[in-house]
Structure 1
Amino acid sequence: MAESEEQVFSGSAIGSRLRSAREDKGMTLEDVANRTRIPTRHLEKIEAGDWDALPAATYTVGFARSFADVVGLNGNEIANAIRAEIGHNRRPAVAPIYEPTDPARVPPKGLVIAAGAFALLLAVGYGVWRSTAFDDGDATQVAVQAPNVAVPKAVAPQPTPAPATDGPVVITATDEVWLRIYEGNGGPRLKEGTMKAGERYEVPATAAAPQILTGRPDAIQVTVGPTAIPQLGPAQRTISNVSLKPADLIARLDGASAAAPVLTPNARSAP
């Protein structure tokens, strides 16, 4: 059994496993690209196991993790396998070779010391001149001639209005994004599909425990009444089970842990 598992994660077999999982879910590469925002050409290279044709190792591992999450595989397991594969096959970077400095181009040590001493003398001389250029009489004359300057009165700070704790929860797409809005605890789905840039959706006020699932929290803007809520999760990372109740969203303005996003490696965990 151990030998079989090792074969699954060697060479292009990693890409084969991702391709099989995608086909089992009935998804095309375009479907995965729409869900992850990863270019189709990169997804093709991942399925082919052609790591050298992909960007830096960090991006390759991140792309593969998101790919695995969308098709129902363990993203961390796939990422670790690819990280090991890339580290085994790629050649280490060669440190650049620098030519030694030509001694003929370096100024003599004596010249450097003389230049430093000359600069020091100039600085001391300028300081002495400044101290003697203005006597007490000049200072008094400057003080007499100085015009009266009105000191502005301090302006009392205006109280910052507290954010609204109640109001319609509106989700606005800033880019094309797929999402699902659903009732928590196994409740029904309120909305599911792709929203175009500029499209808005208002969460029903009758929803008891509305939650959201999406692979692009950076492509939506959430507001509670007139109050803009911070981004619900890291860019290009799938979030689910994130509460859309007004009070929980407003709590994010103070960094409340109760409203922190739940990152799930498998998008199928939501209803």
Structure 2
Amino acid sequence: MFEIGNSLREVRERQGLGYPEIELATKIRAKYIRALEEEDFDSVPGDAYVRGFLRTYAEYLGLDGDVYVDEYASRFLADWREEPRERPERPRVRRRERRFERRAVLLVLAGIALVTALVFAAWRYGGGTGAQPPTVGTQQRHQHPASARQLVLHGVGPGTYVEVRRRSGDNVVLQGTVGAGETYRLAGSRFYLLVRRPAGLRATLRGRAVALPAATNLRVLVTPQRTTRLHG
């Protein structure tokens, strides 16, 4: 048994992360992240959301999400399932509420998928004039021959937050969390990268592995000749 909230807060503070950037990367609203750290689970809309947010937030910090979900279930869900004998109808009500919560989660996920598809279609077929670059969730996965000039990013472990620019100070061409197993390809041979956790990312340029120093919030310039660490 351990303190869920304090454990999450301590890891976040050690990594120097703030609520806004976590909200951007995980899509969890800052007030719910704060509620998880304070173990104020009544402020989160439903048990399904609590477990989902706990797993996502813990894995973003590089922790085992299942451990936090199991600890939450063992401490809180068991109490909800033990109902007084003189009121046998309450468990059935609780089961109905949970079914409703599951349906709500499925509807929310379906809505997110639909919006993502529409945004991708608008960016892909609308010409892209004046539009902001897509996030990692909608980044087009270009199909190029292995010998083409391209940067390939592949998420490993819990993945990591990444920003990619083609020139210093230029617009971001890729932004968001690259999850485990996800691969993104960007045409070109010169890139500026910001990588939150280098251990969560594998990169190649023109088919050659890019060495990423083990440093939080790493900034590098990547070219076919060398990888240069940047400061500031």
Higher relative contact order (CA 8 A, sep 6+): 1
Report the TM range for the smaller structure's normalisation.
0.3 to 0.5
TM-score (norm 1): 0.38
More strand by share: 2
Larger radius of gyration: 1
